[in-house]
Structure 1
């Protein structure tokens, strides 16, 4: 019997055993526990991740059985097992399944390593993988034995059994020392990194999380693995351990070599490396410091406000307000007071303190007028006066207030048609269109769908707080050939939907995509899908997109959000195109 007045051989190695226990639990996704021959808890995860060094104070029949018989024990249905008979804690026991392996050295049992299921899903995992899990646990037991034998000598390399365990894992694994030099990488890791062993070992590499929350969420996240000028985007979990670091790669990795976005860059939110997007980024950096007005033209959902923000952030006004207003989303009766403000008693219902308008709120900064084409003609005249005089006249006031603002506006309308039909002032158009930006639709941004999908997967998994799922090559192919009438906004909404429904541990595959993506798989290229559209008028194209969105979503508020227009504007267009017969709530 062991001397209970001094730490057991296992307790003397407690930090090392705790590290292996945590790794075992992470790999098998089952909670684990280690006790010594005196039933003192050495290490554990989940409910057993505390009270180390304390003797178990509950009935420990299964542990005692393993220690006394020196035999492995598996219980796949607790409470009905003979060993559970007579247990004082049987009625309150949370353990649903158990797999325990003795730690043997020279025919002497030092303790027990066990896997414990607390949920029905975990119980089924143990039941369906008894032999595999048993082999893993035995490997860890052998590692612990070797550490006991060698604890008085300095171990300069990885344990042979530990290395063998990693070699036989399907997941990619990198082990680094405290100086970020790779001590070991298994073949799946080399395959994911697309490098050879001699390019990896004894070279300093960096693993940096791209997560918005860094390592606060303990699940698969995107990381940049870099070595000099070379870098690679890898999904995995990063662990700091005593003296070395362990990086477990996810089974599902991005299927393309993405251009890694620098989150520290002021242009980092402008995702895209297609020729048109590269040209647009150059234009943004070239004109950002100018005080001249910018007009962004593009289809609904292409990300016009993202571009406006980028221009502001790169300008000398970046420390001043960026004020955005959607001219189509605010009723005409309120738009004037929102923009220009009012003085006390200006109209019935006005605040007795008056109110500064958004133009004044943007003083020294940038005012972004989204859907400027929906601004009423009367307000267009007042806005023109502000641009010419650099003064704003609140409603009910006789005194103009000086303002220093830069106007960035955006639209999906054809201004030439609107000017020709007296729906937009030509003089205001030329004031706004000093620097024109043409934002391409998603279907014309070759290669950017994969980049954006990767970005939105990262963004939505972090926002929701779930593990990064990855996406199959076939699912990505279908996204690439789809025509994206809702553009980037539609892609973001789709990815958020997929992140919510994909089972944990699985990757996004074609069976999770909405039904209309099956039709898109028959299209050989995005251009082929649009041959007919190019022969249509702009109004026909707009009608078709609204009609398709109503059929697909069935909710007019969701349709308006996807198309990037106000609900009032949507109702006007439904009436204009006589789409009232289509059912939508």
Structure 2
């Protein structure tokens, strides 16, 4: 096929291309743009109509796909290196991600199918399903366009009507390798292709007589990545299979994942990296994640327990060029020191008693080219900290029992809820390692400071746990929602997820969930919260300067510099004793660093919180 003929192939069957774009957009819930080899737009859907012309965008992505015949996935539109020549590069880009796929006809690349995301939700949807989308697009579009070319092009563009969808699919879907089932709005099977019969072990003669119903089963990692599985009931016999379900017109299309694909895939894909929330702190964190994703620099994620540190670590990995490599997570606090060393750095044969006869390469080497997530890094011993510092400094690892030095390319993401200033001040954590790990700091807000996100998280966990437990999704009474909104959530998102899972398990499917199912402390929180908010506002509104009010001294004869310093520190600690970060607030009020404050506390033996409360009582009585 000559270059001239290749460039005009898609325009000759433009009506077919437009119908394909419409179906793809409905099934995948993304916008679609199809161009030919001459960079002419042949079909567009949705917001793609508002994108600049191909010539104005000066994108290198389409040229690369046409030349190499390889798919191109842009995880961070506007920030990817391939976007640099585009006038809309950077934060001015309206897209969030895109997947450009070569369109092959009779061995020639005649164009590009571009799946485009304009929202963060679409971006996450694409990143989590792009392999399935890639296979489906390449199989479906190429097959249908090729068949249309063989049969002769249609005369004018047509719009897919809901009633014509089964006929549209039947023209080419029987030649697809992916199983496709189409259900009517009433749940009746309207179409099933040959591949689906093969995957469901149905004889061809039963294609038009079989009775199949489908319902969601839940999430599974059995194939190496988190997938949604469905229960298919075939004439009373149940089968559980991974699939993608989408609404197409008045129908529900269920596309079964191809077994051959997942049998050949290693078990290396991460869990969900979806970040739920639209509050200002979360939106800022999303931007930070996208900005730093492709950097090789180390990331440290800090926040209270249960705030989702691993979710953000996976989001950084998923948005980076390392996404197709391993993401390995390890909890440094859950593994003994001796075992943690061998797990991280590996060991050679005979390195210690009980060692595997073949040795072990270790998690750092396993993550070579990918990402290593070290959770609770603050609990790592000083000995291992020194070895980890070498990995960061020289990008090399030495297995236990060996003198060999092995180069590695791994990105380190660490997380902790502990106070590093205190750890460093007490000599429990190396300051030089902290600086190497804390190159890019991400501070996660507690759930109580994420205004508006609790409702979104409740909806997310209701849907997730209902599918996972195969139970009816319960509705919540307004009073129940109000109690959940007002609770302080000391366990943050982990506590909320567990609470919703509990409600899904115990709720009556015929009745809305009432507050009576909530723990007593949550029900009482609805009545007490207003008083707590007012008290906190009143406390914060007071000047933090300790000079605003006189400090009471019981014995002026003992007045000297050290006793004054001790009294001042006690007073500051007492003022902020009701806060979880009281020491940070006290250090700020005193105008000293947090490490200095810890040394003073140790010097004056002020660790006993009872002393602070006694000082608070004495101070109140003296007023």
TM-score band (shorter)?
0.3 to 0.5
Tell me the TM-score normalised to structure 2 length: 0.45
Q: Which has the higher helix share?
A: 2
Structure with bigger gyration radius? 1
Tell me the TM-score normalised to structure 1 length: 0.48
